[in-house]
A = this chain, B = another copy of it.
Amino acid sequence: MNVKTLATQRKTARRFKSDPVPREAVDYILETARQAPSGSNRQPWRFIVIDDPAVKTKVREAAEAGERGFYESLSPERATWYREKGLSWAKPHLTDAPTLLAVLGDTEAPNYVRSVWVAVGYMLLAAEERGLGAVTYTPSDPEKVREALGAPVNLSVETVMPLGYSADEKPKESRREMGELVHYDRLE
């Protein structure tokens, strides 16, 4: 299947079957990520593969503590948007997904956020190719999650990706048309 087809059929998964993710598929995804380019070739990504239910619970509790603060801070308009999407501070997928892939960035590397997220893009397509669903959950308070993971202060939690076989029946969110996004030679 080509890259465009993988990208087009991929949609976010926040609900998962209980079937475990084969270790070989996790390796495939991380081997793909490892090949991404990065600023000054610093390869500032570090990965934590989380299968242990106790660690998942700890991560979920830390994440939800941060989300409660975030949801309380929302304007009424944005709060409505999130509610209509069925989103809230609760992150059950952080314990329901069979595996979490935490992706951390080395904050001492130049352009580390950009580099890490190129690798995340690679991971999403590799997961789709293996029939796995995921969501790039970015904690509202990444420091709380970093502490829960026992990671040092020079690493930032960029995303915690719940990974598994999707049981999410929500359709893919719509996409803007090309004409809205693409300009030629100059912005008009």
Contacts and interface: CB of A to CB of B under 8 A. Distances in A.
A187 B129 CA distance: 28
Interface string A149-183: 11110010011000000000000011110100111
A158 to B, nearest CB: 7
Interface residues of A, number: 67
Given A2-B129, A48-B184, A48-B187, 14 more contacts: A3-B122, A4-B28, A7-B35, A8-B31, A8-B35, A27-B178, A34-B176, A46-B181, A47-B183, A49-B184, A50-B185, A113-B117, A117-B118, A122-B125
A122 B41 contact: no
Nearest to A148: B186
Contact of A121 (B34, B36, B113, B184): B36
Nearest to A31: B4
A10 interface: yes
A37 interface: yes
A150 B186 contact: yes
Nearest to A2: B129
A4 B126 contact: yes
B114 A158 contact: yes
A4 B123 CA distance: 9
A120 B122 contact: no
A183 B50 CA distance: 9
A151 B136 CA distance: 29
A71 to B, nearest CB: 13
A147 B62 CA distance: 42
A94 interface: no
A163 to B, nearest CB: 14
Given A2-B129, A47-B181, A118-B117, A175 B7 contact: no
